């Protein structure tokens, strides 16, 4: 029976102190999840109901918030169950689905940030051509590609990996990330090369494109008037802050997958939780505070709610 159980389920061995602090973890995680939902739904709601925010930049921000909600919903419900359970397990099929959702959504964020960088470049450097270049069709195509390309490329590798034979059934993480592939009996060189191709194609290239685009924007605006410089700073800096934070967390995920045995379990668990918390919560906060078009409407929404309650 145990052998049959092990062939079906994978043990998540990255949890620390669940026996003692399980209920405390549950309360903290639930509060974080509700906060993530509230902040991101607020951003989406404000952008949807205000017509002056129906612009490409704000549509891409709303798409990032949708990704944050989907990413968190893929992770948090399973965390709720695990911290209250005596045995932290997940079926192999559910593990592969969680892997697919997390990484396809995460990579989609890089592509959305690339689309936002292109939008800012056209808006600031080619303002007269902006309405023509960034029309409704262009925005729709960029959104579709940002979601479809990662899903299609990761879908292929997920299906292939799901058919690999497992010789180990315990992973050192608290969710199904790249570490799950270390459980395979044979490490496929072809899959490793394909994984490297995905990383270069969908992460490294978009990051280089974003940095190149913003460098070009700042070089052009350096010789422009104060108003143009102010516009560039207000709209570009929040995107760069999000990119830097998300890139650091992505690098950490890759490092922990490669150097799992060299990093203490408690450190791995805390840093992994930062991936679940920081980006989904950081995005709506930074855009809600730094983007004047959004922050103005959020303040108005809260004033309306407070006045109504009084």
Q: Are 257 and 223 in contact (CB under 8 A)?
A: no
CB burial string 160-189: b at 16+ within 10 A, e below: ebeeeeeeebebbbbbbbbbbbebeeeeee
Q: What is the pLDDT of residue 1?
A: 40
How confident is residue 174, by pLDDT bands cut at 50, 70 and 90? confident
What CATH number does the domain containing 284 carry? 1.20.1070.10
Q: Are 174 and 12 in contact (CB under 8 A)?
A: yes
Per the prediction, the chain carries an average pLDDT of 83
Q: What is the DSSP letter of 13?
A: T
Task: Please report, for residues 108, 217, 251, 276, the alpha-carbon distance to residue 272 in angstroms, rounded to integers and kept in the order given.
Answer: 19, 34, 12, 7
Number of compact structural domains in the chain:
1
Range of the domain at 76: 2-309
Q: Are 65 and 44 in contact (CB under 8 A)?
A: yes
What whole-number distance in Å separates Cα of residue 130 and Cα of residue 135?
Answer: 8
Q: What is the pLDDT of residue 243?
A: 80
Task: Please report, for residues 50, 192, 195, the alpha-carbon distance to residue 189 in angstroms, rounded to integers and kept in the order given.
Answer: 51, 5, 10
Closest CA to 112 of 231, 287, 234: 287
For the record, the structure tokens of 277 come out as 């918390």
Dump pLDDT digits (tens) for 204-253.
Answer: 899 899 989 988 888 888 777 777 677 777 777 777 877 887 777 777 77
**pTM of this structure:** 0.88
Dump pLDDT digits (tens) for 8-55.
Answer: 788 888 788 888 888 998 999 999 999 999 999 999 999 999 888 899
């Amino acid at each position: 029976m145990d052998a049959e159980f092990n062939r079906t389920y994978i043990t998540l061995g990255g949890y620390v102190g669940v026996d003692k602090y399980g209920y405390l973890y549950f309360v903290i995680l639930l509060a974080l999840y509700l906060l993530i939902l509230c902040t991101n739904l607020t951003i989406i709601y404000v952008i949807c109901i205000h017509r002056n925010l129906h612009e490409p930049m704000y549509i891409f921000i709303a798409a990032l918030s949708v990704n944050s909600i989907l990413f968190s919903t893929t992770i948090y419900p399973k965390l709720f169950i695990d911290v209250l359970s005596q045995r932290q397990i997940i079926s192999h099929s559910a593990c592969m689905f969680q892997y697919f959702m997390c990484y396809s959504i995460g990579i989609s964020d890089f592509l959305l940030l690339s689309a936002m960088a292109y939008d800012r470049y056209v808006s600031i450097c080619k303002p007269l051509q902006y309405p023509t270049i960034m029309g409704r069709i262009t925005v729709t195509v960029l959104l579709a590609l940002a979601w479809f390309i990662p899903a299609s490329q990761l879908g292929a590798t997920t299906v292939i990996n799901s058919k690999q034979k497992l010789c180990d059934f315990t992973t050192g993480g608290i969710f199904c990330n790249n570490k799950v592939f270390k459980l395979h009996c044979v490490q496929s060189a072809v899959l490793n090369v394909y994984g490297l191709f995905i990383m270069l194609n969908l992460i490294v290239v978009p990051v280089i494109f974003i940095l190149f685009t913003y460098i070009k924007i700042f070089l052009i605006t350096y010789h422009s008037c104060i108003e143009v410089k102010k516009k560039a700073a207000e709209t570009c800096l929040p995107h760069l802050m999000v990119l830097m934070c998300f890139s650091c967390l992505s690098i950490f995920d890759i490092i922990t997958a490669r150097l799992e045995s060299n990093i203490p379990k408690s450190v791995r668990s805390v840093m992994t939780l930062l991936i679940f918390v920081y980006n989904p919560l950081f995005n709506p906060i930074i855009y809600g505070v730094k983007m004047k078009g959004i922050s103005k409407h959020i303040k108005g929404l809260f004033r309306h709610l407070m006045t109504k309650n009084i």
